[in-house]
A = this chain, B = another copy of it.
Amino acid sequence: MAEVTLTVCTTCRRIAGGEPVADEPRPGARLYEALTQADLPDNVQLKPVECLSACSRGCSIALTGGPARWTYVYGDMDPDTQVDEILTGLRAYAQTSDGIVPWRERPQAFRKQSIARIPPQE
């Protein structure tokens, strides 16, 4: 099964009142750091990126997995409370061949904080 990549924007800041909050550590970087400590499935790699162009929805992450899987982009992630949910959703995604996890099996963060999904390229 193709490699899965969890891409995390490490530049992302928390959004409050529609504006990025500048006077605190970047939650995107903290989220990435927390995920590096996690036990990831063998076919998953974690990758930091400088910008996913979803800055109004930070922290943002993307799940990709080769030409046969749908790509998903999620935003408004909270590094303090949602790491476990991200890992649950990531593990479920990594077990699929097409990237589609049944709705009921998706963690709430993935159900409610979707930014976009992109069809498989093959």
- What distance in Å separates the Cβ of A23 from its nearest Cβ neighbour in chain B? 26
- What distance in Å separates the Cβ of A76 from its nearest Cβ neighbour in chain B? 13
Copies of this protein chain in the complex: 2
Find the residue from A66, A118, A119 having the highest chain B CB count within 10 A.
A118
Which B residues touch A67, using CB under 8 A?
67, 121
Which B residues touch A62, using CB under 8 A?
116, 118-119
Interface residue? A52 (CB, 8 A) = yes
- What distance in Å separates the Cβ of A64 from its nearest Cβ neighbour in chain B? 5
Interface residue? A10 (CB, 8 A) = no
Known: A71-B71, A73-B73. A118 touches B60 (CB 8 A): no
A-B contact pairs, 17 of them (CB 8 A): A5-B121, A7-B119, A47-B119, A49-B119, A51-B117, A52-B116, A53-B72, A62-B118, A62-B119, A64-B121, A66-B121, A67-B67, A67-B121, A71-B118, A73-B116, A115-B116, A118-B118
Which A residues lie at the B interface, using CB under 8 A? 5, 7, 47, 49, 51-54, 60, 62, 64, 66-67, 71-73, 114-119, 121
The 9 A-B pairs with the shortest beta carbon distances in the complex, nearest first, are: A53-B117, A54-B116, A73-B116, A62-B118, A53-B114, A116-B116, A115-B116, A64-B121, A52-B116
